[in-house]
Structure 1
Amino acid sequence: MERIRVHTSELMERAKTLRAGDQLLLSGTIYTARDAAHKRICAQLDRGEEPPFPIQGSTVYYAGPTPAPEGLPIGACGPTTSSRMDVFAPRLLDLGMVCMIGKGNRAPAVVDAIRRNGAVYLCAIGGAGALAAKCVRSLKVIAYEDLGCESVKELQIEDFPLFVTIDCAGGSLFAD
């Protein structure tokens, strides 16, 4: 199967044509955030404050990268189990997040929000964090530095191999 090259800036439009099972090479800007960061982001939103990155059109990678070895922008950065973010995902999708990257199945409420908002859920290969790191061109910590590896980071990626796992029509690789 041929891999589809997609830039994150195109995802809002391209999500409409992607289907569960498609293989992607994703490039562009993504943000890392795990459950501790999601909790803080939602607390900021509850207080009427701006989140640490623009939610509209964003791609969030559920990862907590390890420190970078000498000469590299990042250490290993494999995906975190996505269900840990299920309580936060519908709200962020309703605010315009277009893509989530992680591993594992999602709750029905998340699938409904993906469908409702024309978004997409992509899976990275678990256990391949060192390989994923080779796709990262730059890293910048942008929020919650006190969380260490779980701080929110802005990554510039190139040709990150991913699978469309839940598409905007609700098609899912996890469906029976």
Structure 2
Amino acid sequence: MERKMNVPMSREDIRSLHAGDYVYLTGTVYTARDAAHKRMKEAIDQGKELPFDVRGNIIYYMGPSPAREGRPIGSAGPTTAGRMDKYAPQLMDLGLSGMIGKGRRTQEVADAIVRNGCVYFAAVGGAGALLSKRILSSEVIAYDDLGTEAIRRLTIRDFPVIVAIDAEGNNIYDIALEKYRVKA
């Protein structure tokens, strides 16, 4: 199924998604990679506020290249989501609604997705230049010293993703393996 949805998303909208759905997201998402996740974890552990309210929001695992003249951002492809797996369950428990990245997630992340009614979207790796055309604005909001790993607020329009793990725990990576497995 192909859908257009606004972000942030309601839990009802998230629960309506199914693994394998093509979704075009419009609205606001936040970027964070390894170093930013580590700092957010440290803030949580110290009882400090996070640089943005994760409740109801989506984090895009992306580190952009410098913007070309006249563009808000450079190439903006997804990074491997597995590197954030040790941080993701805690953020979902605090209200994070979803993540955008590429690649498989651990069982702990899949369990947290189901427990919290969240979603994991996959973006196409290697298509960062094309994906950047769906980003209307980019603003660093925290951890500027991390350079490309700083947290950014992005405004996106019709940003293409695929539901990789839905709120029921259906996982497109497992579904595809089973579907295309050679039966001996």
* TM-score of Structure 1 vs Structure 2, range by shorter chain: over 0.9
Q: Distance in 1 between matches of 2:67 and 2:51?
A: 22
Residue 45 of structure 1: how far off its partner (Å): 1.0
Residue 85 of structure 1: how far off its partner (Å): 0.2
Write the letter of the residue equivalent to 2:133: K
Unaligned runs of 5+ in 2: 179-184
Specify the structure having the higher radius of gyration (Cα). 2
Match of 1:35 in 2: 34
8 Å CA contact retained: 2:99, 2:121: yes
1:48 aligns with 2:40: no
Match of 1:22 in 2: 21
SS at match of 1:174: helix
Q: Distance in 2 between matches of 1:22 and 1:113?
A: 20
Q: Distance in 2 between matches of 1:5 and 1:142?
A: 27
Match of 2:182 in 1: none
Match of 2:124 in 1: 125
Q: Distance in 2 between matches of 1:169 and 1:90?
A: 16
Q: Distance in 1 between matches of 2:67 and 2:169?
A: 37
TM-score, scaled to structure 2: 0.93
Residue 86 of structure 1: how far off its partner (Å): 0.2
SS at match of 2:9: helix
Q: What pairs with 1:91-170 in structure 2 (closer than 5 Å)?
A: 91-170=90-169
Matched residue count: 175
Following TM superposition, where does structure 1 have runs of at least 4 consecutive aligned residues deviating by more than 6 angstroms?
Answer: none
Q: Distance in 1 between matches of 2:88 and 2:169?
A: 15
TM-score, scaled to structure 1: 0.97
8 Å CA contact retained: 1:11, 1:99: no
Q: Distance in 1 between matches of 2:169 and 2:25?
A: 21
Unaligned runs of 5+ in 1: none
Q: Distance in 2 between matches of 1:70 and 1:13?
A: 40
* Sequence identity percentage: 51
8 Å CA contact retained: 2:8, 2:58: no
SS at match of 1:100: strand
Match of 1:13 in 2: 12
8 Å CA contact retained: 1:82, 1:106: yes
Write the letter of the residue equivalent to 1:134: K
SS at match of 2:8: helix
Q: Distance in 1 between matches of 2:90 and 2:112?
A: 8
Write the letter of the residue equivalent to 2:120: Y
Match of 1:68 in 2: 67
